[in-house]
Structures are given as C-alpha cells and as structure tokens.
Structure 1
Amino acid sequence: MPRSETPRLRIGFLLAPRFTLCAFANFVDVLRLAADEGDRSRPILCRWRVLSPTMEPVGSSCGVRIAPDERPGDPGRFDYIVVVGGLIDEIEKLHPDSVRFLRRAAAAGVPLVGVCTGTFILHRAGLMTGYRACVSWFHHDDFLTEFAGLNPISDRIFVVDRNRLSCSGGVSSAHLAAFLVDRHIGAAAARKSLAIMIIDEAMEADRPQPGLPLDLTTADPVVKRALLLMQQTMQAPLTVARLAERLQVSRRKLERHFQDALGLSPRAVGRKVRLAQARHLLQRTNRTISDIAAETGFCDASHLIRAFREEFGQTPEAWRTTVIPDE
C-alpha cells in the first residue's frame, strides 16, 4: 500500500473520444515513474485520475478503451487538468459536462493542459483566448481552418504560457510531463522517468518538432524551426525578414545560421522546400501544373516550370512521365 504522503503533483485527465493513446500513455508513465522510488509504481509523489461525467470507458483512436476513475467534481483538487485529444473529427464530441468542468477549472485558476488536439478542444471552449498554443505541424492547417485569426505554434514540442500549457502529442507529451515533474518534484525525478522510458534526455520547450521529410538535414535548432515554417507556409511563402521575425531572431543571424548549417541562404532553401513539395505532388497526385504551382507558392505554372527546370534539369511534366508512383 502507498505510504501516507501528500502528493506534490495532482493531475486530472479528460480523454476526448478517440484520443491518441500514445500521448496519454507517455504523459501518465512519466508521472508513474516519478511518483515512487525505483519502478514500484505507487502513486505517492504524483497522483492522477481519469475523469468522466458518464463513467463509461473512453475509446482511443487505436481501439483500446480506458475506464475512468471518477466523475469530474471539484477541479480545485488538481494542480493541472490535462485534456488529451485525438482525431480531428471527434473533438466536437467531448461531453458538455466535461466542457463545463474545464470552464470551472479555468475560473478557479487551475492550469489547463492541451495534449495533441486537446488544444483544439480548449480553444473551442473559449479557454485559450490570448494564450499561445502549440499544435502538431501535421495539424497546423486544420487549426488555422478551425480558428481564424489565431496563430498556432508548430515549430516547438510544447509551449508554456502562464496557466495554459500545450504540446504537439506523441513523445512531446512525455517531455511536457517531465517539465511538470521537474517543476513540482525535482529534476532527478524527471530524469529518472525519461531514462526508464529510454528517452535520452529531457527536451526544452523550444526544441523543434520533426516535420515532413526533407533532403535538407541539420542539427541547428534555428534552421530546423525555419524549415518547419517554410513547410507550413508554402502557399504564401514568408519573406526572409518575416521568417526571422517569426523565429524572434535578426535577419542577419538567421542568414548566418543557414549559411553555417546548409551552405545556402534562407531564400534558396525556401525555394528548394517548395520545389521538393511540387515534385512530391507530381509523383503522388494527378493535379495540374497550375494547381501545384498555386499550392507551392509559385506565381503561376510558367514560374514553376522555369524554377523546376533550373533545379532538376527538366520540366515538371517531363519529370512526371519518368517517375513510377510508389505503391
């Protein structure tokens, strides 16, 4: 039996229908491993409860179902309320009583955490206005479509903005949980949890998210974040000055990082990123050259054809005829 001790970190989980199991499991396992000595899994230093107004098992996106521990009740008994999202099409289906619970928690000053598309749920409940929000690069465009006028952050693994925390899901949820363990229990407990989970080290919030595969690889975090932004803004490419502003560095510093890391200017790299996407669309879709040009930020088909020929030595249509699409 767990010895009697007041936990230093108390977390309530709300699981959205078809939530992402790995995001929830990574988060809760960091808590489990930090909560006790060794790997004994007793909820001493950390305690967590899965909440549900109906007490019915919640199905994850992979089909595994989680049985809740208790009904929401008083949010003040928790240090954080964590909302774990999943499939985009399911975020509207969070029970109305759960939404009311989140609003009560916000009114009581309990910090709210959005994991994966849990950030979407918090926004939809009106609880992220004025806060920065981290979302996965994969859902960046979905977020822009759903919430006009908001600027999601998709080039970091998690964001802490006062009493709102958010992360992109997957392994990043383990790093956000480790951040909370470090804050409330200590760095040694956070390191222990990650080590047992075979995660080499805790990542800082501003560590870049992995993005779409690119031939351009670098360990430079500034350049990696810039590449993500280039991928996310292909239809309306950012100027070098605007890119530097978004990354909160000077233009000169950004250009120096690109030159040191890739031997190219940001402008040249941006062009390569857009041409790589154009080639991907040529291989994988039947879209016209004009449509692909519009989607990848070229003025028109002629502009894309000229740039493509300069980069690859042939026109887009000629290249398309030589490529066998992947099965």
Structure 2
Amino acid sequence: MHRIGVLLTDNFQLLALSTMSVFEFANLVLGEPFYQLSIYSDQGGEVRSSTGVTLQTQPLDATASADTWMVAGVLDPLAAPASEQTTLFLRDAPRHARRVAGICTGAFVLAQAGLLDGKRATTHWAHAKSLQQRYPTIQVQDDRIFIIDEHIWTSAGMTAGLDMALGIVEKDFGAEIARNVAHRLVMNQRRSGGQTQHSEMLALAPRSDRLQNALEFARNNLSKPLTVEDLADAVHLSARQLSRLFRAETGKSPAKAIESLRLEAARLMIEQSRLSLDTIAREAGFRDRRHMREVFVRGYGIPPQSLRAGKAME
C-alpha cells in the first residue's frame, strides 16, 4: 500500500484534486488498491477552495504520514503564503516520505519550506518569474510540464498536475501501466515532463472557425509541402482572403504560422521519441535536417541537438 497525502491550504484550486483520479484509476488498472488517498490541511476540518467548495480534511499532527505528499496550489501564492505549521511539516517530510510534489503554485509552498533550494523546479508560467525572484537559489524552468529533481517533483499549470501524477504512476509501475491509466482517463496524450507548457495553436489564438480549421488542416498535414493555396482550398477561401484573415487574427502570415506548427511538431518529436533528426525533419515537413536546424535556432535560440541532449540529462 502506497499512501498519497494531498495537502490543501485555504483557497486551494479545486482542479488539484483531479490528480486523485489518476491514482484511483491506477488502482483499477492494477486490479488492487495499491494507492491509498487521504486529504490533509494544517488544522484539519473544513478547507475552502477558491471556488467556494469546502472539503473535510485531516490535521497535520503526529499521525499524519504519507509515502507521497502532493501540495495543492492557490490562485495567488504571494498573497496566501503557507502557515508555519505547514512549512515546518513539509521541511521534515522528505525524511519519512518517498517523494514530495508541488502541483502548480504548490511549488511556492515547497520553496517556502526550503525544499527547492538549489533544485530545478517549475510552476505555472504566469508565476514562474515571481518564484525565481523570491527564491533565487531555485533553478526555475518555466517551460516544462513537470520536473523531477531527486525526491522533489513540481508541475506547471493545473492540468499538468495530471501529467505529473501519471509520471508518478509510471515511476512506480512502468510506462505501460501509465499509458493504460491515461487511456482510461481519456487523456489526449500522456505528456512527458520535459514537454513545454506552451502550445502554438493556443498562442496563435484564431477567433474564426475558418482560421481554426485551416490551422487544424495544416497541423494534420505537416509532412506535406503545404502552400497558402492548400489551406485556402481546405476552408473554401481565396489565398488572398486567407492571408488577410491570418494577419488580422494572428499577426502572422500563413507561411509563418505553418513554420511555427512545424517547429512545435519537431520539438515534440524530439522530446517524446527516439526518431532520428533526419526522420523528424521529414515528418515535420522541413526540407531537410539543415533547414530544421535553421528554424530551430531562429525560433528557440538552440539547435535541435541541444534539446535532445538536455532531454537525455533529465
């Protein structure tokens, strides 16, 4: 039996509790109740979420123990620091627990307890700068889904907590069990810890259905030599109309938007597969490996080989 203790503070974000579903379904996949879930707060009793929903919790007293502690985040971590009792408890937790994890801005609570000193960590991208400024000894990596540094885990924005929980299941039981759990949860993909928080489709943020459909068409056909005319035909517009729409809604030309999608696709393949760079360049639609390298350096400031080397070190 592996005990999961979820630690909540007042105004916790309700989505943090979704991580418990990962362990619930892991038990179903395993066919036995391996993970035992408990919810704690410093004083116990009712704890109010940021939505107003309240939850009954157990107190952080002498009987509180877990093999894995998961600390929920809040909307404004600087305005709601953890209590002294919580920080003292967490400071001692690594002596007794297998791992301690911060979900989203829960990283601030871990930092307050001194658990992130000198370690790599991440948090929601909107709070990463504040985390780095307040705790300069932390190596904040604001573009990662989750990070493992020895026995300390941290995740990015709230849904990334699900990926981190799946990472814990994979660490305990292997990739096949984690994939089965992700499938049961109908998760679109099981994102690796090294994957970026940011999505090019979200960054482009088109408002019109036609432009969204054009981008989806492009993303599904990146290995082909796409032209503006191809995208325009797919959404029944002229090339001129589509170009005008692209610039108005995304600030980019169709060609630049396609290049951004190719770059993101290549990066994800580098992060998540062992395919050769030549194969990745071909699948992402670049002319060749050299062309992909040029776009990588222009877009990310590093060559693709550096990204793969950094992934191998994690």
2:184 maps to 196
Shift of 1:58: 1.8
Query: Quick one: distance in 1 between partners of 2:38 and 2:54?
Result: 15
Shift of 1:223: 10
Q: Structure 1 residues 121-130 or 214-223, which shifts more? A: 214-223
1:173 maps to 161
- Kindly provide the amino acid, as one letter, of the partner of residue 177 in structure 1: A
- Kindly provide the amino acid, as one letter, of the partner of residue 197 in structure 2: Q
Shift of 1:188: 4.0
Determine if contact 2:6/2:72 at 8 Å carries over to the other structure.
yes
Determine if contact 2:169/2:177 at 8 Å carries over to the other structure.
yes
Query: Quick one: distance in 2 between partners of 1:120 and 1:165?
Result: 12
Determine if contact 1:52/1:71 at 8 Å carries over to the other structure.
yes
2:18 maps to 26
Query: Quick one: distance in 2 between partners of 1:270 and 1:46?
Result: 40
Shift of 1:88: 2.2
Shift of 1:49: 0.7
Determine if contact 1:85/1:91 at 8 Å carries over to the other structure.
no
Q: Structure 1 residues 28-37 or 188-197, which shifts more? A: 188-197
Provide the TM-score with structure 2 as the length reference. 0.63
Q: Structure 1 residues 55-64 or 172-181, which shifts more? A: 55-64
Q: Structure 1 residues 46-55 or 104-113, which shifts more? A: 104-113
1:60 corresponds to which of 49, 58, 68? 49
Shift of 1:181: 1.4
Query: Quick one: distance in 2 between partners of 1:115 and 1:185?
Result: 21
Query: Quick one: distance in 1 between partners of 2:191 and 2:153?
Result: 15
- Kindly provide the amino acid, as one letter, of the partner of residue 146 in structure 2: F
Query: Quick one: distance in 1 between partners of 2:144 and 2:198?
Result: 9
Query: Quick one: distance in 2 between partners of 1:206 and 1:98?
Result: 29
Distance 1:96 1:213, change over 3 A: same
Query: Quick one: distance in 2 between partners of 1:222 and 1:182?
Result: 19
| 1:204-232 superposed Cα distances (whole Å, 9 cap, x missing partner) | 2111112571453331227999xxxxxxx
Query: Quick one: distance in 1 between partners of 2:93 and 2:190?
Result: 28
Query: Quick one: distance in 1 between partners of 2:5 and 2:186?
Result: 25
2:6 maps to 13
Shift of 1:78: 1.7
2:115 maps to 127
1:220 corresponds to which of 245, 261, 266? 266
Shift of 1:17: 2.2
Give the secondary structure class of the aligned counterpart of 1:66.
Answer: strand
2:134 maps to 146
2:37 corresponds to which of 19, 38, 48? 48
Determine if contact 1:17/1:94 at 8 Å carries over to the other structure.
no
Determine if contact 1:17/1:90 at 8 Å carries over to the other structure.
no
1:136 maps to 124
Q: Does 1:104 align with 2:86?
A: no
Query: Quick one: distance in 2 between partners of 1:222 and 1:186?
Result: 21
Distance 1:153 1:258, change over 3 A: farther
Provide the TM-score with structure 1 as the length reference. 0.60
- Kindly provide the amino acid, as one letter, of the partner of residue 83 in structure 1: V
- Kindly provide the amino acid, as one letter, of the partner of residue 18 in structure 2: N
Query: Quick one: distance in 2 between partners of 1:43 and 1:98?
Result: 32
For residues 1-327 of structure 1, what are the structure 2 equivalents within 5 Å? 7=1, 9-22=2-15, 24-36=16-28, 44-74=33-63, 77-89=65-77, 92-108=80-96, 110-210=98-198, 213-214=203-204, 215=257, 216-217=260-261, 218-221=264-267, 259-260=291-292, 264=295, 266-267=297-298, 269=299
Determine if contact 2:69/2:101 at 8 Å carries over to the other structure.
yes
Give the secondary structure class of the aligned counterpart of 1:35.
Answer: helix
Give the secondary structure class of the aligned counterpart of 2:116.
Answer: coil
Distance 1:173 1:270, change over 3 A: closer
| 1:74-105 superposed Cα distances (whole Å, 9 cap, x missing partner) | 56x42111111122246644232222211221
Determine if contact 2:69/2:97 at 8 Å carries over to the other structure.
no
Aligned residue pair count = 227
Query: Quick one: distance in 2 between partners of 1:257 and 1:139?
Result: 36
Query: Quick one: distance in 1 between partners of 2:130 and 2:141?
Result: 13
Shift of 1:265: 6.5
Query: Quick one: distance in 1 between partners of 2:88 and 2:184?
Result: 37
Give the secondary structure class of the aligned counterpart of 1:220.
Answer: helix
